[in-house]
Structure 1
Amino acid sequence: MSLNQAPAARRGRSSHPAPTAARPTRAADEITREVLSLAITFYRCFLSARDAFPDQATEMSFVKEAWDTACYNRNVDIELTPTLSKLMTNRGSHLRGELKTKIKPMVELMFGFKSGQNKKTIKANRDLTEKLKDDLTFTFKDIAARKGIYRNPLFQKAVNAMWFVNTRDEAVTQPQMFNPFPLPGFALVITVTEHLIDEWATGIRSDIPFTAHDYRDLYQTHINALRRFEEKTEKYGILDNILVRLHNIGRFHSGAQPITHHAPQPAITDATIAAAILEYQEDEETET
């Protein structure tokens, strides 16, 4: 090959870098995307397990912790830039909106709201809204008898649909944050459910934005109510049982194996070993 036929990179005349020159950048970008994806998962978990409507300082602490944890898991050290932070914080409203989307059809079906424009249907929906919102009636398992507070079947369905879809879902892969199901996450489910009931207040469902500005206080109200309920029923462990059940049934729904805390069983039992020793001794006696 003559000099004129040689690759431009060898002649030193081209302004275009050799193909290999771009590889480190592409590799770095790929690693950053991988870390970002993992960090977003951790960030969503923090929102679900700790505070779904964090203030700015708490939000940034979640972002930094999620990023640092993701970097540690991937054994890299990548700077958390404002752009990356923004990509993560945007997931807060996304998570809340996702939960609303999943629960919306459940509310209409399980509480019995009806679509329609006639006066009878509209009045029935308005009356139902008032009844459900009166003294947390919508949280009861048996709404008519007001029995089984915080055990409405809708809550388990919502938890399954949001956090336990399959074995790759967040609550399955991060059991340290979801076993038992976290109280703040449960409060978020209750808040979204009440918000969706609010959409039927006029008798005809109308979409109401589920914003932090409008629903942070309601969320905190449900947090406080759950903690008060937990405190007053501590002797009986009622809320603990509810949260454990939400996790266990959710995990079963995902198809994941149940979490056990038993020591792993040996591959060979003592009885098998004893039988082998006895068999050996008997063979020795026979041979002699």
Structure 2
Amino acid sequence: MRILKNLSKDKLAMTSLIIIIVMIVVGIFAPLFAPHDPEEVNMRMRYATTSWEYLLGNDHLGRCILSRLIYGIRPSVLWVLVALILSILIGAIIGFIAGYFKGKADAVIMRICDIMLSFPGYVMTLAVVGILGAGLENILIAFVIMKWAWFARVIRTSVMQYSEMDYVKFAKATGISNLRIIYKHIVPVTFSDIAVISSGSICSMILQISGLSFLGLGIQAPHAEWGMMLNEARGVMFSRPELMLAPGLAIVIVVSAFNFLSDALQVALDPKFMNSKSKLQEKEVKTTTYEYIRS
């Protein structure tokens, strides 16, 4: 409740949250919102302009662009969320083990994470896709393989910080089990860090899956995906630029919404950050006023 109360003070964050919720709902119930079958080919409507029946027009095969845009939410956003959740779960479990128990377990896990993180993200993704083959499922597997180590390292650092607190040491001294201490005392305080890094990571994942689909390595035709829609409209980008406008704007809007929400979450979940931000703004106002008076 405190998080929602703090978020409600930020109009941009609430707008972003509404956009994300609407996007997810429309994606889940795509058959109810899509006016046409996204894979239905109608060559008589090839490159047709906007109309009441086809609000965003038709593509090179006469397919409804609006319907394909709606169905494209599933691979571009929803399945990315699934891959993100799996990455967080794996990274959180490993990060809690390494950060709480420390010792040899921490050393071994961190060396594995160092090896995984030594490869650039795109290179690792391309390597996994190259081994397993093109397709949405393989890209999602690549995301999980690529992201879990980063989440594990960040969560491990946060857990180590909080596991040294006095109340955690007191809980250990009273004989409370380690699992109960982690669940009751460490998970709640590390949730803010996990939420912030998760909302920030999904932006890069959405851009990556759209980029890979644009290159032909993601979801395959005739299924709809925003990056693939950009690739299909590339041949007529000068004569029919509006065909690239719809999927391009969709990517920009959803990535911007997650970015703004990530910034707002950082403020809402960390009161110290909020106070320091307000003090910095107050200092900037005073400095500007002083300079104005001097001039």
> How high is the TM-score relative to the length of structure 1?
0.28
Structure number with bigger Rg:
1
Work out which structure has the larger RCO, using CA pairs closer than 8 Å and 6 or more positions apart in sequence: 2
> How high is the TM-score relative to the length of structure 2?
0.28
Return the structure number with greater helix share.
Answer: 2
